[in-house]
Structure 1
Amino acid sequence: MQFVDSRSPATQRVLIVRFGALGDMVLLTPMIRRLHERFGVPVDIVSSGGWTRPLLDGQPGVGDIRIIGSRRRPYLLSPDQQRLVRWLRARGPTPTWFAHPHDVGRDLLRRGNVPDEFVCDFTNTIPGEHDADRWVRFADETPVALGNVYPPAQHTRSAHAFLQVTASMRSDLQPWLVRHGLESQSLIAIQAGNKRTMRSWKRRRVTNKKYWPETRWAQVIRAVRKDRPHSAIVLLGVPQEHELNQDIIREAGITNIHNVANDLPVPILVALLERTDSMISVDTGPAHVAAAVGCSVVTLFADADPQRYRPGGRNTFAIALQGKVEGQLNILGIDASRVIAAWRQLPKRARRYGAEQELTAGVG
């Protein structure tokens, strides 16, 4: 099925505009899938950030991906915005979903000659609704220009994020595993850092709501090592998080623990987490990647709503933890024993790598 409009080329594509962090773009995948199912054509995406293209390029239903830098920069000073507008004009007006919680960047559609009647604007959440479900609900809306040609699809089950791990991702992962001495081992991933943690040299600052102390990470890691003596523990992150990981490793004082924050491109991250048995993470993008490739994960939340942002969706293998300090939501209200207990409840994957024979399912 293809959308046909007399005012534009016969073969149409649909468009999503979403400027989001890594986790936001993972949670957008149910919407991409739903629009692809509704219209039967590739879904083009306008976004920002260096993670979007390597994350979504080649995913089912994804068409062209266009990336811009700062959306707040004046248009005349932004070559990225100008290139996007030229692309939109050449592409012609097509059904468009502006999936962003504010209007920054909305003017680019008008500059690109996409009429308002072709655009569905961001919808607010329903209390208790997960983002994955919200984006599917939003995908079921129809721009005014289409009239009643495409009524909303019947959404009857919970949505969940999904990332397809491509053959090229798996192929690229193999030499990476060899380089880090991980090719024959079962893996457990730790994501301690996030972009807030690394915005300043002072990790313990009050504004760093997602900071969880190195001593507690070390407690968790020692417990994981005791339960899984033959598994490699891998600390993930971006280069700015490398030093944080090193501090945690020194505090933990165990062997067979690996800091890969200096060498973790997004496609490797996706394939690595498919290969990983389980994960413990703060509320940040890699936790959503894990859930989207079927890796069970424990996630430590600060003041964000786990009902809305639980990794992957409402029904994935994810456990969300939240704590309070003096009656207020605070990640420091989560102690290490709760994290360890939650991790032990996760379903463990069958051991496909290495010679050790540990639990193949159930509780670790």
Structure 2
Amino acid sequence: MTGIASNPRPLVVRCGAFGDVVMITPLIRLLHARYGQPVDVVGSGGWTPPLLEHEPALGHLQMIRSRNTPYLLCPSQWALVRWLRARGRGPVYLCDTDAAIEGLLARAGLPEADIVRRLPADDHDADGRTRLWPDRWMHMGMRDPAQAYPTRADVDPAAHRLPVLTVTAADRADLAQWRQASGLGDCIVLFQPGNKRTHKRGRIATASHPKYWPPQAWAELAAAIWQARPQARIVLCGSPAERSVLEEIRQAAGGDARMFNGADALPVPRLLALLEVAHSLVSVDTGPAHAAAALGCPLVVLFGPASPALWRPIGPGTVIALGGEHEGHGRVRDIPVDSVISAWRQLADAPAS
């Protein structure tokens, strides 16, 4: 890797959760504009390909199954190292800083002069205010590695600030077929009660998790939505592992036929297509909330210990953040139902799809 390509492709390294992947889409598009080349991405997790594979600025997506498995036992790490060695030099925007990913980049021989790392200056604006994650990536993406590579000077980062996701015609057609088969009407309101850590350790741990909102609270919110829009269908979003948790919410709402448990029916492509047309989403602070914002779905986000100043989703639609005031000690269950109902009513004028 001694020669420098004349038209180097930038590389983004981000092995993040669902929301993390959504939040790097501005960086991918910014680097595509700056370098005039497709942007390669190193990622992990089953959600990453469906979130990024239709991104117009994407070059090659190289997936690794695990960063923490010993190298000799992880073929996807071998493949990553081989691919990095073969692709040649270019600017590398390193969004992950854990020792495991650093070790893989070192094993591949990536020169330090090619790597751009996040700095403290990326995290706060000139007035010392905390930047949201997409804004941090924007600031980082405007910096160059020590090794100079040709870039355009007329790129405005503000034009690329909002996360963007691509929904294909095939995904829209699949959604239309599923909606018809499921008897869902034209006005769909989505609930996202859990995140990837909420339901990992059983029912007791779920109830004690800081992002937990009780089933009865969700049921009271549903009743208020049906009072305002009796024709609305409420779809409970989550993974297949969360089916029983979503069912508790449906039962708390009296088993109303207008509430649909979507745990077994919403792979990522269909979820994105649904977010694109839904009336609104009420969600705890988790990845699908970021996807909803990117797709313009009006939403209310319930924060526990995380700070909305850092993690609030952004997009072209309305986003209302509640909670998160307790500097790392808050719980979603402390957010009153009336506050969530009031926030949702601010979204209620959004046109139904």
Percent identity, please. Answer: 40
Question: Partners in 1 of 2:108 and 2:289 — Cα distance?
Answer: 35
Q: Which residue in 2 is equivalent to 1:26?
A: 22
Question: Does the Cα contact within 8 Å between 1:133 and 1:158 map onto a contact in 2?
Answer: no
Q: Which residue in 2 is equivalent to 1:120?
A: 116
How many residues are aligned here? 346
Amino acid at match of 1:59: E
Output one character per residue of 1:137-186: Cα deviation in whole Å (capped at 9) or x when no partner: 1111101111686669554579221112222221222222223222x421
Question: Does the Cα contact within 8 Å between 1:236 and 1:260 map onto a contact in 2?
Answer: yes
Question: Partners in 2 of 1:94 and 1:147 — Cα distance?
Answer: 7
Question: Does the Cα contact within 8 Å between 2:91 and 2:149 map onto a contact in 1?
Answer: no
2:294 pairs with one of 292, 295, 320: 292
Amino acid at match of 1:200: R
Amino acid at match of 1:312: I
Counting only pairs closer than 5 Å after superposition, residues 140-151 of structure 1 correspond to structure 2 as 140-146=142-148
Q: Which residue in 2 is equivalent to 1:102?
A: 98
C-alpha displacement at 1:95, in angstroms? Answer: 0.9
Question: Partners in 1 of 2:238 and 2:182 — Cα distance?
Answer: 15
**For the structure 1 residues 188 and 156, does the alpha-carbon distance in structure 2 shift closer, same or farther, using more than 3 Å as the test?**
closer
C-alpha displacement at 1:8, in angstroms? Answer: 3.6
Question: Partners in 2 of 1:246 and 1:143 — Cα distance?
Answer: 50
Q: TM-score when scaled to structure 2?
A: 0.91
Q: Which residue in 2 is equivalent to 1:267?
A: 269
Question: Does the Cα contact within 8 Å between 1:48 and 1:69 map onto a contact in 2?
Answer: yes
Structure 2 gap segments, 5+ residues each: none
Range with greater deviation from structure 2 (140-149 or 21-30): 140-149
Output one character per residue of 1:307-353: Cα deviation in whole Å (capped at 9) or x when no partner: 1111126x75111100678x94222210111000001112643234x
Question: Partners in 1 of 2:261 and 2:321 — Cα distance?
Answer: 24
Amino acid at match of 2:190: A
Q: Which residue in 2 is equivalent to 1:246?
A: 247
Question: Does the Cα contact within 8 Å between 1:191 and 1:281 map onto a contact in 2?
Answer: yes
Q: Which residue in 1 is equivalent to 2:163?
A: 161
Q: Which residue in 1 is equivalent to 2:304?
A: 302
Question: Partners in 2 of 1:226 and 1:190 — Cα distance?
Answer: 17
Question: Partners in 2 of 1:87 and 1:244 — Cα distance?
Answer: 41
Question: Does the Cα contact within 8 Å between 1:191 and 1:236 map onto a contact in 2?
Answer: yes
Counting only pairs closer than 5 Å after superposition, residues 59-70 of structure 1 correspond to structure 2 as 59-70=55-66
Question: Partners in 1 of 2:163 and 2:8 — Cα distance?
Answer: 25
**For the structure 1 residues 348 and 278, does the alpha-carbon distance in structure 2 shift closer, same or farther, using more than 3 Å as the test?**
farther
Q: Which residue in 2 is equivalent to 1:196?
A: 197
Question: Does the Cα contact within 8 Å between 1:281 and 1:298 map onto a contact in 2?
Answer: yes
Compare the two structures and name the one with the higher helix fraction.
2
Counting only pairs closer than 5 Å after superposition, residues 218-257 of structure 1 correspond to structure 2 as 218-253=219-254, 254-257=256-259
Output one character per residue of 1:89-138: Cα deviation in whole Å (capped at 9) or x when no partner: 11112111001243430221222232111111123421421111111111
C-alpha displacement at 1:303, in angstroms? Answer: 0.6
**For the structure 1 residues 149 and 250, does the alpha-carbon distance in structure 2 shift closer, same or farther, using more than 3 Å as the test?**
closer
Structure 1 gap segments, 5+ residues each: 353-364
Q: Which residue in 2 is equivalent to 1:179?
A: 181
Q: Which residue in 2 is equivalent to 1:358?
A: none
**For the structure 1 residues 156 and 28, does the alpha-carbon distance in structure 2 shift closer, same or farther, using more than 3 Å as the test?**
closer
**For the structure 1 residues 270 and 8, does the alpha-carbon distance in structure 2 shift closer, same or farther, using more than 3 Å as the test?**
same
Range with greater deviation from structure 2 (139-148 or 276-285): 139-148
Output one character per residue of 1:5-34: Cα deviation in whole Å (capped at 9) or x when no partner: 991444421100001100011011111111
Amino acid at match of 1:92: G
Question: Does the Cα contact within 8 Å between 2:193 and 2:284 map onto a contact in 1?
Answer: yes
2:49 pairs with one of 50, 53, 68: 53
SS in 2 for 1:298: strand
**For the structure 1 residues 68 and 328, does the alpha-carbon distance in structure 2 shift closer, same or farther, using more than 3 Å as the test?**
closer
SS in 2 for 1:199: coil
